[in-house]
Structure 1
């Protein structure tokens, strides 16, 4: 967290970013892009702004309670919210020309009351706390608290170009300090405030920024050189690129998605990373899937999900989503799992994954699929806990096709 208060200009930027997210419904990354565009901000100051905005969104209801305001009032009462944030963290208030103050006694009373309401103190909206309690029971409070923490920064070493030790040394020479991550061979954790994407190492394609939990999901594919592998919900391709490195650039790796712009982004990243065995294909209709029936040694289905395992990285989702969205996603996951599994050949392996920690999207989906599809057998599964790992939260399960 910060060791000094925000400047007046940075405080205004935080308020403007939050206004776009909360009042206009824009994703946080787009709000950053919009407000940072054209500004000559030092990387350190940009990092300070994103740190404060992210923390405010991770525990928005707490900070609004301390400021005695509603989230919808951010544009009008933004300075009051920022003052509450600075008071909570024991920082001097920002020196704004116009500001709405908070009485210290009132703040102290509200803070003491908030500490007695743990879901509020963890920044958890009521709908999410009810869902987490129903789905995870006694495991939920620890996950809820972990999701209120700031995310760590992790890199995935591009094994097509270098090894982790080599990357660590190159980054150190560029002023980026990292450390190895236990249990994730390709991961480095960034432990310094550094502009990663301005480094020569990034421009040379030596690494991608990717959460360590996400790297574990990709590692579970266990693709070998010469295999035919399909990443059927590839998105912008973080896991696709990791799989390409597993394959040492040998064999056929097909990246598929329903949105062309994501595949175009993947192509650019693949060129930078030297992943030349990746082919992209737009899923235009169900015929795209049917043509690939029984052809793949591995199929990764990183399906659309609630994203409830990655809320510390995408905190705005807590205030945009509703519980009504989950049943729609669960049905979509079921449909994708049933349809796309046809691409796995006999003895091939299907890997089902989400960035959620809710059983309804995870093991319950797998169990329902296996009950309806006896030609697949269960191999293993894992839930990557936010609280236990310090990573983002994910789920993965592996199933093998035993007959047509």
Structure 2
């Protein structure tokens, strides 16, 4: 009997092969990502739109697709298939993936066969190449070694693991215990996350967004590491707070809960559609103190000079701390993108920090684990801005925590300039 393998920690087991139709969908999604450069979430949306898939089957498709992308170069080596050949040769790669994980071969109508003896030989060869075994592209390994040294191999290995599912309890509506109990009644099993008092880890295979808890706004899906960044801001009821790179607003909603919905919380971004999504999420969460504002020009920032008790700058970054969750980025990005991002981060930190009033707190944050985007940026900023002082920083390590990878630095403005 072929053994089942756990691919998603302890909450989702794949104990049978994919159906022929699901296999075709996986190949099509991979081809869209690898050949056309489509972001994975958009590829899912494009392929799932209009299909009447059961949540469990959609979950199996995303599970296998994500697992392949996390170690794509390994599976390409084992199957002797190039990424750009996915449409034509993907059936062989899918067969290799199933054999590698000791699962029955899917019953595809037209499938390229696999020489199992040759596969066994290739597996032994791959085991001798840690970078390949960890599913890491060469450019990323070179960058990781250069910036992180001895810490990099553990982080590299951690980033090829499946992402866990974490929830943030919405304390505007319930407590963590109340949420866990209500979810349990809806057949969603959770455990508390040590050191993150607002977090629950989901340990069952459940359709979270169909629960009454979600519809009532009792929780948001948010990585536990991300929750630690919002916690570091230490926003209080009645304060004037700015989330200046709010995006879709996960941290904004967390900050609103910290503030107990009291005070002014300004969520800003350069893209209106993200702020529109945030408005909808805020309504469901009863985060009534959230106000959105598009950053139309530098004047938007200048008008808020020295006005905020707290400012969060969750700046655009490489996303190299969240590759478990966004594995396609490893195969779309290049090292040439990092210097451009570093310059953008420097500009945002220098410009947007003007909003912090004397005695106020600034949090600079990324979802990267690379020092060039993190402490190096903060040190360079402090060297040029003596009116800020360093309080603390934290590297949230995927290898040490099991969370996604993040960084934050906490600074205080001590003078106007």
Please say whether Structure 1 and Structure 2 have the same fold, judged by a TM-score greater than 0.5.
yes
* 1:353 correspondence with 2:373: no
Offset of residue 284 of structure 1? 0.3
- Partner SS for 2:383: helix
Offset of residue 39 of structure 1? 1.1
Offset of residue 361 of structure 1? 0.2
In the TM superposition, 1:31-70 aligns within 5 A as 31-70=43-82
Report runs of 4+ in structure 1 exceeding 3 Å deviation: none
* 1:282 correspondence with 2:294: yes
Of 64, 74, 96, which residue of structure 2 is paired with 1:84? 96
* 1:335 correspondence with 2:337: no
Offset of residue 24 of structure 1? 1.1
- Partner SS for 1:220: helix
Of 171, 193, 202, which residue of structure 2 is paired with 1:190? 202
1:263 counterpart residue number:
275
Of 115, 120, 124, which residue of structure 2 is paired with 1:112? 124
Offset of residue 69 of structure 1? 1.2
Whole-Å Cα distance in 2 between the matches of residues 224 and 141 of structure 1?
39
Whole-Å Cα distance in 2 between the matches of residues 178 and 363 of structure 1?
34
Whole-Å Cα distance in 2 between the matches of residues 217 and 332 of structure 1?
20
Whole-Å Cα distance in 1 between the matches of residues 150 and 86 of structure 2?
34
2:305 counterpart residue number:
293
1:370 counterpart residue number:
382
1:208 counterpart residue number:
220
1:124 counterpart residue number:
136
Offset of residue 3 of structure 1? 1.4
Whole-Å Cα distance in 1 between the matches of residues 318 and 95 of structure 2?
32
Deviations 1:286-336 (A, max 9, x none): 000000000000000000000000000000000000000000000000000
- Partner SS for 2:156: helix
Deviations 1:38-69 (A, max 9, x none): 11111111111000000000000000000011
Offset of residue 282 of structure 1? 0.2
Deviations 1:108-166 (A, max 9, x none): 11000000000000000000000000000000000000000000000000000000000
Of 238, 261, 271, which residue of structure 2 is paired with 1:226? 238
- Partner SS for 2:233: coil
Deviations 1:61-94 (A, max 9, x none): 0000000111110010010010110011011110
1:325 counterpart residue number:
337
Normalised by the size of structure 2, how large is the TM-score? 0.97
Whole-Å Cα distance in 1 between the matches of residues 170 and 42 of structure 2?
27
- Partner SS for 1:40: coil
Offset of residue 281 of structure 1? 0.3
Whole-Å Cα distance in 2 between the matches of residues 5 and 71 of structure 1?
22
Whole-Å Cα distance in 2 between the matches of residues 62 and 84 of structure 1?
11
Which 5+ residue runs of structure 1 have no aligned equivalent?
Answer: none
Q: RMSD between aligned alpha carbons?
A: 0.5
In the TM superposition, 1:18-33 aligns within 5 A as 18-33=30-45
In the TM superposition, 1:90-169 aligns within 5 A as 90-169=102-181
2:17 counterpart residue number:
5
Whole-Å Cα distance in 2 between the matches of residues 330 and 263 of structure 1?
24
Contact 2:81 2:90 in 1 (8 A): no
Offset of residue 37 of structure 1? 1.0
Whole-Å Cα distance in 2 between the matches of residues 181 and 369 of structure 1?
34
Aligned length: 404
Deviations 1:200-223 (A, max 9, x none): 100000000000000001111100
Whole-Å Cα distance in 1 between the matches of residues 104 and 255 of structure 2?
48
Normalised by the size of structure 1, how large is the TM-score? 1.00
Whole-Å Cα distance in 1 between the matches of residues 48 and 125 of structure 2?
37
